[in-house]
Amino acid sequence: MIKKAGIVAKRNKKEAIEASRNLITWFQARGVEVVLDEELKKSVSGKYKSLSEVDISQLELLVVLGGDGTLLSAARLIGNGNVPILGVNLGGMGFLTALSLNELYQVLEKFFSGSYETEKRMMLISTIIRNDAILAEYLVLNDVVLTKSAIARVIDLETNIDDYYLTSFKADGLIISTPTGSTAYSMSAGGPIVFPSLHAIILTPICSHTLTNRPILVPDSSEITVKISAESEDVFLTFDGQVGQSLGAGDLVKIKKADHPIQLVKSPFKDYFEVLRTKLRWGER
- How many Å apart are CA 58 and CA 81, to the nearest integer? 8
Contacts of 269 (CB under 8 A, 6+ apart): 99, 103
232-259 burial, b for 16+ CB within 10 Å, e for fewer?
bbebbbbbbbeeebebeeebbbbbbbbe
Nearest to 177 by CA among 229, 224, 243: 224
Side-chain-side CA neighbours of 155 within 13 Å: the count stands at 31
**Position 23, amino acid:** L
CB atoms within 10 A of CB 29: 8
Dmax over CA atoms of the chain, in Å, equals 62
Q: Which amino acid is at 213?
A: N
Cα–Cα distances (Å) from 229 to 53, 143, 156, 203, 283, in that order, read: 42, 21, 6, 18, 44
68 is catalytic: yes
Question: Helices (H), strands (E): how many in the chain?
Answer: 6, 19
Q: In what order do the strands lie in the sheet with 243-247?
A: 216-219, 200-206, 173-177, 143-148, 235-239, 243-247
How many angstroms separate the Cα of 245 from the Cα of each of 115, 217, 226, 248? 42, 25, 15, 10
For residues 89 and 227, give the distance between their C-alpha atoms in angstroms, rounded to a whole number. Answer: 37
- Catalytic residue from among 68, 172, 240, 251: 68
Residues marked as catalytic: 68
